[in-house]
C-alpha cells in the first residue's frame, strides 16, 4: 500500500522502537492465525474440514524434514522462475521491437491483442498432447503467460520515452544500438519491472495449475495429492509453504527493483502497490 497516503496510526508515531512498530504492523496476521487456532480448538468447526494451525505447521515441519516439500518446491520454482526469465527476456525484446519499428508493431500488435485475453492454462492440455507431462509443458505455458504482460509494459514504457531525448542522442551521433541500451531500456525499466511483477504472479499460478492438471512432481501436485488422499493437515501445510514462497518472491522482486532503480525519480512514489 502506498506509504504516502496511509493514515497515521498509534504505532507510526516516533516514540516506538522499530521492532515494535513492525510487530504492530503484522499483528493482524497473528490475530487471524490465533482465531484459526481457537476456532478449531473450541470445536466450532469440524476438524475433518479444517486442521488447526498447530497441526498445519507440524505437518509442514515434517514434510520439510523428510525433504518432500523442499524437493517439490525446488521443482516448481525451477519451472516457474525458468519460465518467467525466458518469458521476460523474450517479452522485453518483442516489446522493444514493437515500440521501435512500425512494421513489427503492425505485425505483432494484432497477435498480442488477440492472444492477451486467452487464459494460458487452456494451452496446458494441448501442450500435454504435444510434449507429454513434465517440465517442457509446464515451462512453455509459464513462459507464454509471462510473455504478454512484459511485452505490453515494455511497449508502453518505451513509447513513453520523450522523443526529445532520443533526438538529442541521435543528434550527438549515438548509434542505434546504444540508444536502445543507454536510453530506451533504462527509461522504460520501471514500466518493464511492473510488467515482470505481474508476470511473477502469473508464473506461480500457471506452474501450480499445470501441476494440478497433470504432473508427477511439484508443489501443486503435492497439495492436490494430499487433498485427494484426505491428509488435510499436509494439504494445508503445502499451501502455507507456497503462500510464503510467493510472498517472499514478490517482496524480493520489489526489493531488487528498488535497489536497481534507486536512481529513478518516480521509484519511491510509484511503487508501493499491493
Partner 1 sequence: MPVAERAHAARGALDALWAALRYCYPLLLVLLLWELVARAGLVRPLFLPTVTTVLEQFWVLLFEGEIVAPLLVSLYRAFAGLALAVVFGVFAGLWMARSKWAHWALDPLVSLGFPAPKIAFVPIFILWFGIDHLSKILLVAFTCVFPMIVATYHGAAAVSRTVIWSAEAMGTSERKLLSRIIFPAAQPYIFSGVRVTVPVALIIAFTAEMIAGGGGVGAALMFAQRFFQTPTVFVYILVMLATGLVLDLVILRLRHWLIPWDDEAV
Contact pattern from residue 97 through residue 126 relative to partner 1, giving x for each residue in contact according to CB under 8 A and a dash for the rest: ---------xxxxxx--xxxxxxxxxxxxx
Which region among 62-70, 90-98, 236-244, 262-270 touches partner 1 (by CB under 8 A)? 236-244
Query: Minimum distance between the CB of residue 177 and partner 1, rounded to whole angstroms?
Result: 27
| Nearest to partner 1 of 185, 246 (CB atom) | 246
Contact pattern from residue 185 through residue 214 relative to partner 1, giving x for each residue in contact according to CB under 8 A and a dash for the rest: ---------------xx--xx--xx--xx-
Contact pattern from residue 7 through residue 46 relative to partner 1, giving x for each residue in contact according to CB under 8 A and a dash for the rest: xxx--------------xxxxxx--x--------------
| Nearest to partner 1 of 100, 121 (CB atom) | 121
| Nearest to partner 1 of 180, 270 (CB atom) | 270
C-alpha to C-alpha distance for 236 and 242, rounded to whole angstroms: 10
Query: Minimum distance between the CB of residue 233 and partner 1, rounded to whole angstroms?
Result: 12
| Nearest to partner 1 of 11, 54 (CB atom) | 11
C-alpha to C-alpha distance for 88 and 144, rounded to whole angstroms: 10
| Nearest to partner 1 of 125, 162 (CB atom) | 125
Told to check if 144 binds partner 1 by CB under 8 A, we report no
DSSP letter string over 32-74?
HHHHHHHHHHTTSS-TTT---HHHHHHHHHHHHHTTHHHHHHH
| Nearest to partner 1 of 129, 164 (CB atom) | 129
Query: Minimum distance between the CB of residue 165 and partner 1, rounded to whole angstroms?
Result: 23
C-alpha to C-alpha distance for 136 and 149, rounded to whole angstroms: 21
| Nearest to partner 1 of 155, 236 (CB atom) | 236
Note the residues at the interface with partner 1 (CB under 8 A): 1-2, 5-9, 24-29, 32, 49, 106-111, 114-126, 128-130, 200-201, 204-205, 208-209, 212-213, 219-220, 223-224, 226-228, 232, 235-236, 239, 242-243, 246-247, 249-250, 273-274
Amino acid at each position: 500500500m502506498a506509504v504516502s497516503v496511509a493514515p497515521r496510526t498509534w504505532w507510526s508515531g516516533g516514540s516506538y522502537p522499530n521492532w515494535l512498530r513492525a510487530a504492530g504492523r503484522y499483528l493482524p496476521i497473528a490475530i487471524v492465525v490465533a482465531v484459526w487456532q481457537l476456532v478449531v480448538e473450541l470445536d466450532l468447526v469440524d476438524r475433518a474440514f479444517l486442521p488447526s494451525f498447530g497441526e498445519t505447521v507440524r505437518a509442514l515441519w515434517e514434510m520439510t524434514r523428510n525433504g518432500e516439500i523442499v524437493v517439490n518446491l525446488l521443482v516448481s520454482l525451477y519451472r516457474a522462475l525458468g519460465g518467467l526469465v525466458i518469458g521476460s527476456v523474450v517479452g522485453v525484446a518483442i516489446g522493444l521491437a514493437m515500440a521501435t519499428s512500425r512494421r513489427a508493431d503492425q505485425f505483432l500488435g494484432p497477435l498480442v491483442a488477440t492472444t492477451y485475453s486467452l487464459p494460458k492454462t487452456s494451452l496446458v492440455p494441448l501442450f500435454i498432447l504435444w510434449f507429454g507431462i513434465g517440465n517442457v509443458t509446464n515451462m512453455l505455458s509459464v513462459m507464454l503467460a509471462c510473455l504478454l504482460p512484459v511485452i505490453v509494459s515494455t511497449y508502453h514504457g518505451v513509447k513513453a520515452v520523450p522523443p526529445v531525448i532520443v533526438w538529442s542522442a541521435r543528434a550527438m551521433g549515438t548509434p542505434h544500438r546504444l540508444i536502445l541500451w543507454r536510453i530506451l531500456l533504462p527509461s522504460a525499466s520501471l514500466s518493464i519491472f511492473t510488467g515482470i511483477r505481474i508476470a511473477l504472479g502469473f508464473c506461480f499460478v500457471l506452474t501450480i495449475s499445470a501441476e494440478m492438471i497433470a504432473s508427477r512432481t511439484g508443489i501443486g501436485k503435492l497439495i492436490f495429492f494430499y487433498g485427494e488422499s484426505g491428509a488435510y493437515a499436509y494439504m494445508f501445510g503445502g499451501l502455507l509453504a507456497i503462500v510464503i514462497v510467493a510472498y517472499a518472491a514478490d517482496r524480493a522482486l520489489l526489493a531488487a527493483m528498488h535497489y536497481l532503480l534507486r536512481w529513478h525519480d518516480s521509484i519511491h512514489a510509484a511503487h508501493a502497490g499491493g
